[in-house]
Amino acid sequence: MVVMGSIDILHAAAGLLVGALVGLTGVGGGSLMTPLLVLMFGVSAKTAVGTDLLFAAITKIAGSTVHGSRETVDWGIVRRLAAGSIPAALATLAALAWVGRIGQSAEHVILVALACLLALTAIAVAGRKWLFRHAHDFDAIRSRRRVVGGTVVLGALIGAAVSVSSVGAGAIGVTVLLMLYPRLQMARIVGSDITHAVPLALIAGTGHWIMGDVDAALLTNLLIGSIPGVVAGSYLSSHAPDRVLQPLLAAVLAVSSWQLFVKAYAPEKVKVEAIAPERAQGTR
């Protein structure tokens, strides 16, 4: 593993790629980076989750700053999501600290469930034009109270999922927000989701750091690439039309689903001896 102060080009390049995708789509912080760390770099699952949470938090601070300056954040949505996610994250972290780590069988079930959700989500996002055409029908049968309540419940689900697996803030959040707010511009959904993920990932990441699950050297190298990546992606997101962002988001979700399936079913030696076994030996 690298030592503090040195730069690992491969880790920085991975951070750059994921950071750009986060800025463009709101997705990738956990659903791409965690599987990438485990499968390609041989990082242990618990270290990948803890490190990725702080990586996502710091990366999305830069992204949310850009989205905020370009007025592509709906603060009402951010507050509703946080009302559910922050208490759920704190409760989940307390439960993890009390009962200890979740077992491999439980982690497998969570990964498979998330992978299935992302696959269905990719299909749903690809068919968003149909959803938009029927937005009037959806609005007619839903009250504002149900939309607000659904957003808070969504936040709670994201808070629990992110605290356990680091996945969900972007992948689940962007998807369900598309369903709850079909009339909202894609860039505003992405900006709102990125902004909401900042305090959530900070809280969850700090909890995992206290439990000893963060690799500071790895985090530093990822951020070297992700900060410029997310800034560039966020600027492009506010300019790119929905007809460009929607297929890109669907593609990212599909890749995320595939990565999670691989992570769930890959043999253990593939996870440990991925591409760089020497890194696996140096990682906590």
Give the 3-state secondary structure of residue 8.
Answer: coil
Residue 122 exposed, middle or buried by CB count within 10 Å (0-12, 13-18, 19+): buried
Distant-in-sequence, close-in-space partners of 99: CB < 8 Å, separation ≥ 6? none
Own/partner contacts of 98-103, CB < 8 Å, gap of 24 or more, are 101/46, 102/164
pLDDT value at residue 283: 46
Q: What is the DSSP string of 80-128?
A: HHHHHHHHHHHHHHHHHHHH-SPPHHHHHHHHHHHHHHHHHHHHHHHTH
Residues 6+ apart with CB under 8 A from 185: 72, 242
The pLDDT value given to residue 204: 87
DSSP the chain: -PPTT---HHHHHHHHHHHHHHHHHS--TTTTHHHHHHHHH---HHHHHHHHHHHHHHHHHHHHHHHHHTT---HHHHHHHHHHHHHHHHHHHHHHHHH-SPPHHHHHHHHHHHHHHHHHHHHHHHTHHHHHHTHHHHHHH--HHHHHHHHHHHHHHHHHHHHHHS--TTHHHHHHHHHH-TTS-HHHHHHHHHHHHHHHHHHHHHHHHHTT---HHHHHHHHHHHHHHHHHHHHHHHHS-HHHHHHHHHHHHHHHHHHHHHHHHS-HHHHHSSS-HHHHHH--
Q: Max CA-CA distance within the chain?
A: 58
The confidence score (pLDDT) of residue 78 equals 92
pLDDT in tens, 11-68: 999 899 888 888 877 776 676 787 778 777 888 777 888 888 888 888 888 878 887 7
Report pLDDT for 91: 92
Model pTM?
A: 0.68
Domain extents in the chain: 9-282
State residue 4's pLDDT score. 44
Residues of the chain with confidence (pLDDT) below 70: 1-6, 28-29, 31, 99-111, 113-114, 117, 121, 124-125, 127-142, 167-169, 171, 238, 240-242, 245, 263, 266-284
Which positions ≥6 away from 60 have C-beta within 8 Å?
Answer: 22, 29, 194, 195, 197, 198, 201, 230
